[in-house]
Structure 1
Amino acid sequence: MGFRLPNGATLQIASTYGPAIPVTALSNANPAVATAAAHGLTDGDIIAVTSGWTRLNDRAARVANSLTGTFAMENINTTNLQPYPAGSGMGSVREVTGFVEISQITDVNFSGGDQQFLTFGFLADDDDRQIPTTKNPISIAYTVADDPDLPYVAVVEAADDDKQVRVLRMNLPGGSSILYNGYVTITSTPSMGRNNLMTRVITLSLAGRPTRYAAVVV
């Protein structure tokens, strides 16, 4: 049994990416192994994934077991052939080559992610039945103290402008992390109230499922 506080956590957004690396095959395994000639990736690199598998597409992952021509996507389990049909997962990956910290966060609010259900009943039933269907999309709102001179501001405003997905990494106390990939927007003007901080709100709308990682052991 364990527990922890988020105090001391830091949030980063991808500021630069490498070129797209074609993935010519992707295995049904845990973790999934990608075939990519001369990929140049090393263990611990963070990648954004484009895949023919809808459930994997637009996720972020950490590279592991990197060899010449192959690498694994740590904590990505593709053994279930129903959402990951064999032979159709190929696509590409892009390495995140630079991160910049989104600093001065004063509040974090999560919305969505709750399970939806289909409620139904048969003629002979006295009680209705319920089966899970989809989950609501997840959004995370980060309130930040306003400072237009901080390095992350230009990166976030560019993401707001071009509406392209960005990788974000939440670094938790103890060295573990959570990777997100999604659309990033920011309020165009800070909120203002007497005797209160001027703040802006950065919103992350997830395009793919988050991936959580334990601390890297060296």
Structure 2
Amino acid sequence: MSASLPNGAVLSIATTYGAAIPVTVLTNAAPPVATATAHGLTNLDILEVTSGWLGLDQRPARVAGSTTNNFNLEGHDTTSTTQFPAGTGIGSVRKVLTWTQISQVMDPATSGGDQRFVNWNYLEDGNAPERAKPTNKAAKVLILKLADDPAQAWNAVLKAADAAGTPRIIRLALPNGSFIYYNSYVGFDDEPSLGFNNIMQVSLTLTSAARFVRYAS
């Protein structure tokens, strides 16, 4: 058993990406093996995946077991042919080329992820309590306040990501050496808050486009 604190964690956003690399075969495996002729990727590269499998589409992945024409999508499991029908997962990947640290993070908060339900009664239930069945979960949102500082490089990067309206890979490097990667829509409000005797802050909202992936090191 263990307990961890996020103190000292470093948050970064993907600044630039390489060109999309077509994936011609994607296997049902853990991890799935991708075939892409002369892909040029190396182990530990971070990718954004585009796939015909919704359970893999837009998710971050790390390259492992790279050879000339194949590589593994580390941390993913596509063994279920019910969820991942064989032969239908092909698409493309693109590599994160550069990162920009999002520094001066204050007051992080999360919302969403709560379980939703469908509620109903049968006519013959009479006045019995209604029935409930779990459905999906609410979208996950990470809300961050950043100390206002126009000199920081993240201002321009976050403004551009907000304007583009497309997901960006977010990297959270934890003090224990592990990493969490998200793919999130970026909402950035660069108008600073004005509270007497309070640090001026700007607001960053990260809305998940797909489920995160975590690596122990």
Normalising by structure 2, what TM-score? 0.94
What's 1:135 paired with?
A: 137
What's 1:2 paired with?
A: 2
Counterpart amino acid of residue 34 in structure 1 = A
What's 2:79 paired with?
A: 79
Q: Distance between the aligned counterparts of 1:82 and 1:112, measured in 2?
A: 27
Bigger CA drift: 180-189 or 90-99?
180-189
Q: Distance between the aligned counterparts of 1:199 and 1:188, measured in 2?
A: 8
What's 1:184 paired with?
A: 186
User: Partner of 1:38: helix, strand, or coil?
Assistant: coil
Q: Distance between the aligned counterparts of 2:37 and 2:31, measured in 1?
A: 19
Matched residue count: 215
Counterpart amino acid of residue 69 in structure 2 = G
Bigger CA drift: 127-136 or 179-188?
127-136
Counterpart amino acid of residue 113 in structure 1 = G
Counterpart amino acid of residue 145 in structure 1 = A
Alignment of 1:99-110 (within 5 A): 99-110=99-110
Counterpart amino acid of residue 84 in structure 1 = F
What's 1:63 paired with?
A: 63
User: Partner of 1:158: helix, strand, or coil?
Assistant: helix
CA positional deviation for 1:131: 2.6
**Which structure 2 residue ranges, 5 or more long, are not aligned?**
none
Closer, same or farther in 2 for the Cα pair 1:68/1:193, shift >3 Å? same
CA positional deviation for 1:173: 1.0
What's 2:200 paired with?
A: 198
User: Partner of 1:150: helix, strand, or coil?
Assistant: coil
**Are residue 21 (structure 1) and residue 21 (structure 2) matched?**
yes
Q: Distance between the aligned counterparts of 1:199 and 1:16, measured in 2?
A: 26
Alignment of 1:37-56 (within 5 A): 37-56=37-56
Tell me how large the CA RMSD over aligned residues is.
Answer: 1.4
Q: Distance between the aligned counterparts of 1:147 and 1:139, measured in 2?
A: 23
Counterpart amino acid of residue 184 in structure 2 = G
Deviations 1:122-166 (A, max 9, x none): 547966543321111111111100111111111110001111110
Deviations 1:90-144 (A, max 9, x none): 0000000111100000111111111112234554796654332111111111110
Deviations 1:159-187 (A, max 9, x none): 01111110000111111011000110111
Normalising by structure 1, what TM-score? 0.94
Q: Distance between the aligned counterparts of 1:3 and 1:26, measured in 2?
A: 37
User: Partner of 2:135: helix, strand, or coil?
Assistant: strand
**Are residue 118 (structure 1) and residue 109 (structure 2) matched?**
no
What's 1:152 paired with?
A: 154
User: Partner of 1:167: helix, strand, or coil?
Assistant: strand
Counterpart amino acid of residue 196 in structure 2 = R
**Which structure 1 residue ranges, 5 or more long, are not aligned?**
none
